[in-house]
Amino acid sequence: MPRGVFIVFEGLDRSGKTTQTEKLTDYLNSIGKKTILQRFPDRAEPVTGPAINNYLLNAKSIGEQKEGMHLLFAANRWFLAEGIEAALAAGTNVVADRYSFSGVSYSLSKGVPQAFAASPEIGLLRPDIVLFFDVDAATVAQRGGFGDEVMEKAEFQALVKQNMSQFADKDFWTPIDANKTIDEVHENVKIIAEKAIATASELPLRRFEP
């Protein structure tokens, strides 16, 4: 049996990832390709979820407890890692709404050093493909709901975008124009995801290295 394929969506807040991860997951299941959706942070994860949710909704400043919060976001991924690996091994595709690339980029934007930001990700599964939702900070700042959570500030999002660009030369990094309509973006996502599923399931899964 071929393994499942691990597809990650990344990008700024309000860039459309959540809508599109849901649409892709529904589509893949509708054509008989078993797929589960995993959001990060997973606020329902019992150990780290409540603390992360409390930070996002109630922190007085973005940088509050930045090192500790960084480790909590990473721990949230580690607590979900076994489940993701088991699903992939059983032939189920995993679509993730954010992953390590948000972990590194958001914390770097708060001033956490690069080595500290990257090291808790070492050993986690590397996705087969990352769909990077490319949109400007000024655009997301105008979208509905922006500003509800502590990190939703236009200047901070611009820094996150800059820090995320460090991944642009990775072979798995695939930009998607997120300025288009929901249906247009979904069509692009479908094409890229189906191609990844056709090719990646034959390749071994890899992990993040130091």
Interacting residues toward ligand NYM by CB under 6 A = 13, 40-41, 56, 73, 98, 102-103, 106, 149, 151
Smallest gap from residue 1 Cβ to ligand NYM (A): 30
Smallest gap from residue 114 Cβ to ligand NYM (A): 15
Smallest gap from residue 148 Cβ to ligand NYM (A): 9
Instruction: For strands 173-177 and 129-134, give the pairing.
Output: parallel
Nearer to ligand NYM, 106 or 172 (CB): 106
Please give the torsion angle defined by the CA atoms of residues 12, 121, 56 and 48, in that order, rounded to the nearest 10 degrees. 150
3-state DSSP assignment of residue 48: coil
Nearer to ligand NYM, 69 or 197 (CB): 69
Nearer to ligand NYM, 33 or 43 (CB): 43
Cα 177 to Cα 1: distance, rounded to the nearest angstrom? 34
Count of other CB atoms within 10 angstroms of residue 47 = 11
Nearer to ligand NYM, 40 or 132 (CB): 40
Strand blocks (E) in the chain: 6-11, 35-39, 93-97, 125-126, 129-134, 173-177, 206-207
Smallest gap from residue 102 Cβ to ligand NYM (A): 4
Q: Side chain identity at 150, as an amino acid letter?
A: V
Nearer to ligand NYM, 59 or 91 (CB): 59
Nearer to ligand NYM, 7 or 197 (CB): 7
Instruction: List CB contacts of 76: < 8 A, sequence separation 6 or more.
Output: 40, 41, 42, 45, 48, 49, 52
Smallest gap from residue 101 Cβ to ligand NYM (A): 9
Cα 162 to Cα 156: distance, rounded to the nearest angstrom? 10
Q: What share of the chain is helix, strand, coil (3-state, %, to 5)?
A: 50, 15, 35
Smallest gap from residue 171 Cβ to ligand NYM (A): 22
